Structure 1
Amino acid sequence: MRTPASPPERSTMTTAPAVEAVRVSEKLGYLAANFGNIILSTVIGSFLLIYLTDQVGLGAAAVGTLLLVARIVDGATDPIAGFVIDHLPRTRWGRFRSYLLIGGGIGAIAFAALFVVPGMAGPALVAAWITYLIWGLAFDLMDIPLNALLPAMSGSPRTRGQLAAIKGATYLGGTVVVIAVTLPVVTLLGGGALAWQVYAVIVALVSFALTATGALLVRERVVPSTPAPYHFSDMRALFLSSRAVPVLLTSKVATSAANAALMAGIPFFFTYYVGEAGLVSAVALVMAAPMLAGSLVGPSLGHRVGFKPVYLLSLIVAVLGIGSILLLPDRGGAVYLLCFAITGLGFGGAVALNYALLAELTDFVEVKGGFRTEGTLAAIGSFAAKAGAGIGGALVAYVLALTGYVPGTEQTSAARSGIALAQAGVPASLVLIGGLVFLSYPITKRVAEQTRTALAAKEELR
């Protein structure tokens, strides 16, 4: 990787001034696009496992292997997808908006197929593998351009913090809404596999409408000064130039796995451990306010003291909340709802700060290497989220299978203990791993300020 003092002649990458304020309509559009994104991934993360086991009839271990292998294989292609998106022709809409619109349509179709095809075509396990792999590839086309938009919409740290807060709050709010309404709506539609399939089609249509709205309303301001900022061979140097990229990637894998395990465990925990399936919707509502508070306060506080310490603090709060479930066996729904509320506060801050950290890392990489890589870094983040989702979902499925979970019946004592372990022990352990890794993250508040100063100096010389 080249140093800022001697950037390559082919690409002295700088960014155009980006001081124009982001309008309220753009922020609303950005909110809409992120909401359209998260409702798809939340339905899959929270309900695909129980749909495939309880409705389609697949074994928990078989589904766990599917979630793990397919997501990692799919995620491994994300850096290539990010490189391609970084080098796609710039349209009159900018570098990412038009591809977000196209990807939103493809992703919505693939999402609906993931629920419809395995429930209607056999063999079901083969159909699930095929549609899940297609879904992962299709989701890249909407997820990577969306994540690349944040650093492209504004160069202002304060505005980026606001956009990260919007993104985090929307993701968390979307998660809450999906968890709260999914089972009641499926029941209203008649229950059973067909009801799930109709629900999936409805969600897909809503997602595309929201994504299209966002693509139409937002605007890109930070643009590279050359159309081809870097070559494919530079990606390895990008990853190895500083520990910032691998540390953030590894930490995000762990925390994404924790979040996936947390969400996947909720239907099993409240249905079979607590014995009150109605609390699946209640837990979403209980987590809503703390999640929102964390997603708003986290980036704001991070702007003042640095994103790194606030991110670590958020992870500590999440561990305390979800880990408490293991220390409080058979205490009833109200106690567990309080544990989830505390967990929501921690995850709210961590999720929002993830996007602020990624935008900060984009600037850091530009100073280090002389080229701008929103698409590739967004793809690395997408890979981390996918790998984490696969690991978290698979761990929940494997724990259930190993401890004797049987769908639709009263669970044995061992199975109930396994459900509690899957719901609390797995995500708490993963958050701890993510936090320990993140301790070595090198971009402190001081480094971030030095990075912005260096970019401003390069802009003056351009």
Structure 2
Amino acid sequence: MAQRMATSGAYPLPQTLRIGYSSGNMGKSLQWNTVELFYLYYLTDILGLPPALAGGLIFLTLVWDGLSDPLAGFLVDRYSHFFKSYRRILACSIPFCALAFSGIFALPVLFPTHTIAAVLVAGLLFRIGYTFIDIAHNSLLANLTSDGHERTVLSAYRFFFSSVGTLLLLWLAAPVLRQETTAEPFVMFSVMVGVAYLLVMYSCVAAIGRRGQLQMVSSRRSSSMGASFLELLQNRYLMWLSLFVILVSLFVTIMPRFAVFYSKEYLGGAEQSTYLVAAYTLGQLLSLPCWLRTAKCFGKYHTVKLALMVFTGASLTLLFAPVSFIASALAFFIAGFAFAGINVIIWSLLPDAIDINEQLFGRRHEAFTFGIIVPLMKICAGISAALVGAILALTGYQGLDSEWTAFGIKEAMTFLPLFAVLLAMIPLTRMKLLH
């Protein structure tokens, strides 16, 4: 405990550390949002896979990612004497993750007669690298400071850089989406993203410096993976937070996943999706001061409930407003504005769950806790991607076939998030009572 407090006191962190650490989210955003926004389109419209199969392949890789996260988190906590610091884990994992990311686009082109196997193998390799990057970087949020407000500030900084990464990604992707449907521009695009990722992530590692030392766990205080998992299951606060995360990751995030297909049918071309997602991202960026101020004045729980209400307004705008680029962009902007508040508070509540576990059992399980929650997000993202693929299949979408009507797309983009918003109020109420 003493070692942790030496590097994570309840005082404001230096601005350079805030920016340097949070910039890691920019690098992760480049990779994560490429897969989230464009990889399903790449598999269906470029490689010609059926949408249900393409969504299923993405789902399988995210399930693999989700299953490997708890193991990676447990190993980091259990063998802290070997890893020493989160900085070392990041530095060693970054090159592999960058190379594997380019592989998810390149391998199917290199092995055209084994496209499905190439997509699956490349996806599994990429997810292994991403797991260790994500676990180490996310765990630093609980490690760098023990102050609740400072964690909220760090969460906002992280989200800001995630949004900047998304905007950079859209700038790189727009020319690719305007070209003819061939794989080579996408492969070159993945290489450019990989280079940008390397530069950003190693800048993050340099900024962390000597901070982020792992809490050394003695053999007497260490526990098996099963015992650690049972402890987390007894943390009711963490369980309610997990339910909230599931609802958000499954349904609230589904709107941008449909953006490229919605744009192709309603707005005249897939390239229009870059403007919709840009509006979504600008909403996120502009909202951050608002959500930080709201959280400071009214607390985390009132803030996230307000964000959910704003998201409801975005869904209703998309559902009932006349179909046009302006109305669609406005709906995406409001949705992004709201989602920023939801996301910032989620990442601010996670370290609170770790603190509660330490109060209950005397063990923090920093990396292991993130190794449970983060895979929940990823598995739910995989299910959500598979759900998008299934909905596209039900509407008759065939990727390369231009004859297609999008009945049901707009309804799915709005009704599913509205359903999740209503249910999400239940875990939020329970968490407030427990904290």
| TM-score, with length taken from structure 1 | 0.85
Aligned twin of 1:107: 97
Aligned twin of 1:337: 329
Q: Provide closer, same or farther for how the CA distance between residues 431 and 56 of structure 1 changes in structure 2, counting only shifts above 3 A.
A: farther
Q: Provide closer, same or farther for how the CA distance between residues 13 and 279 of structure 1 changes in structure 2, counting only shifts above 3 A.
A: same
- Paired residues of 1:32 and 1:211 also in contact (CA < 8 A): yes
C-alpha separation in 1, matches of 2:170 and 2:268? 17
Q: Provide closer, same or farther for how the CA distance between residues 334 and 139 of structure 1 changes in structure 2, counting only shifts above 3 A.
A: same
Q: How far does residue 434 in structure 1 lie from its aligned partner after superposition?
A: 3.7
- Paired residues of 1:15 and 1:225 also in contact (CA < 8 A): no
Aligned twin of 2:126: 135
Q: Within the alignment, does 1:402 sit opposite 2:409 as a pair?
A: no
Gap runs ≥5 in structure 1: 1-10, 448-462
Q: How far does residue 361 in structure 1 lie from its aligned partner after superposition?
A: 1.4
Q: Within the alignment, does 1:119 sit opposite 2:109 as a pair?
A: yes
Q: How does 1:225-304 map to 2 (within 5 A)?
A: 226-227=217-218, 230-231=222-223, 232-258=225-251, 260-304=253-297
Question: Aligned to 1:200, which of 180, 185, 190?
Answer: 190
Aligned twin of 1:439: 429
- Paired residues of 1:12 and 1:370 also in contact (CA < 8 A): no
Aligned twin of 1:3: none
Question: Aligned to 2:138, which of 124, 143, 147?
Answer: 147
| Corresponding residue SS for 2:370 | helix
C-alpha separation in 1, matches of 2:417 and 2:40? 16
- Paired residues of 2:176 and 2:186 also in contact (CA < 8 A): no
- Paired residues of 1:272 and 1:411 also in contact (CA < 8 A): no
Q: Provide closer, same or farther for how the CA distance between residues 226 and 179 of structure 1 changes in structure 2, counting only shifts above 3 A.
A: same
- Paired residues of 1:265 and 1:422 also in contact (CA < 8 A): no
- Paired residues of 1:39 and 1:203 also in contact (CA < 8 A): yes
| Corresponding residue SS for 1:331 | coil
Q: How far does residue 253 in structure 1 lie from its aligned partner after superposition?
A: 2.2
Aligned twin of 2:416: 426
- Paired residues of 2:58 and 2:386 also in contact (CA < 8 A): yes
Q: Provide closer, same or farther for how the CA distance between residues 77 and 95 of structure 1 changes in structure 2, counting only shifts above 3 A.
A: same
Question: Aligned to 2:304, which of 286, 298, 311?
Answer: 311
How many equivalent pairs are there? 430
Aligned twin of 2:59: 68
Q: Deviations over 1:241-262 (max 9, x none)?
A: 2321222122212212235422
Q: Deviations over 1:221-274 (max 9, x none)?
A: 686364565312332332222321222122212212235422221011011123
| TM-score, with length taken from structure 2 | 0.90
Question: Aligned to 1:96, which of 86, 90, 97?
Answer: 86
Q: Provide closer, same or farther for how the CA distance between residues 169 and 442 of structure 1 changes in structure 2, counting only shifts above 3 A.
A: same
Q: Which amino acid aligns with 2:309?
A: I
Q: Within the alignment, does 1:384 sit opposite 2:376 as a pair?
A: yes
Q: How far does residue 340 in structure 1 lie from its aligned partner after superposition?
A: 0.9
Aligned twin of 1:453: none
C-alpha separation in 2, matches of 1:199 and 1:261? 24
Q: How far does residue 393 in structure 1 lie from its aligned partner after superposition?
A: 0.9
Aligned twin of 1:168: 159
Q: Which amino acid aligns with 1:179?
A: L
- Paired residues of 1:168 and 1:353 also in contact (CA < 8 A): no
Q: How far does residue 184 in structure 1 lie from its aligned partner after superposition?
A: 2.0
- Paired residues of 2:65 and 2:131 also in contact (CA < 8 A): no
| Corresponding residue SS for 2:393 | helix
- Paired residues of 2:78 and 2:217 also in contact (CA < 8 A): no
Q: Provide closer, same or farther for how the CA distance between residues 297 and 439 of structure 1 changes in structure 2, counting only shifts above 3 A.
A: same
- Paired residues of 2:45 and 2:181 also in contact (CA < 8 A): no
Q: How far does residue 289 in structure 1 lie from its aligned partner after superposition?
A: 3.4
Q: Deviations over 1:161-181 (max 9, x none)?
A: 211110122223322432354
| Corresponding residue SS for 1:160 | helix
Larger mean CA deviation between 60-69 and 424-433 belongs to 424-433
C-alpha separation in 2, matches of 1:243 and 1:285? 38
Larger mean CA deviation between 38-47 and 334-343 belongs to 334-343
C-alpha separation in 2, matches of 1:56 and 1:20? 52
Q: How far does residue 196 in structure 1 lie from its aligned partner after superposition?
A: 0.1
C-alpha separation in 2, matches of 1:205 and 1:101? 15
C-alpha separation in 2, matches of 1:20 and 1:357? 18
- Paired residues of 1:100 and 1:142 also in contact (CA < 8 A): yes
Instruction: Please identify which structure carries the higher helix content.
Output: 2
C-alpha separation in 1, matches of 2:133 and 2:144? 17
- Paired residues of 1:260 and 1:393 also in contact (CA < 8 A): no
Q: Which amino acid aligns with 2:306?
A: L
Q: How far does residue 86 in structure 1 lie from its aligned partner after superposition?
A: 1.6
Q: How far does residue 409 in structure 1 lie from its aligned partner after superposition?
A: 4.4
Q: Which amino acid aligns with 1:234?
A: A
Q: Provide closer, same or farther for how the CA distance between residues 317 and 411 of structure 1 changes in structure 2, counting only shifts above 3 A.
A: farther
Larger mean CA deviation between 298-307 and 341-350 belongs to 298-307
Q: Deviations over 1:61-89 (max 9, x none)?
A: 10122222332243023111111112334
- Paired residues of 2:300 and 2:345 also in contact (CA < 8 A): yes
Q: Which amino acid aligns with 1:337?
A: A
- What's the C-alpha RMSD, in Å, of the aligned pairs? 2.6
Q: Which amino acid aligns with 1:25?
A: T
C-alpha separation in 1, matches of 2:98 and 2:132? 11
User: Identity of aligned pairs, percent?
Assistant: 22
Q: Within the alignment, does 1:325 sit opposite 2:318 as a pair?
A: yes
Question: Aligned to 2:31, which of 31, 34, 40?
Answer: 40
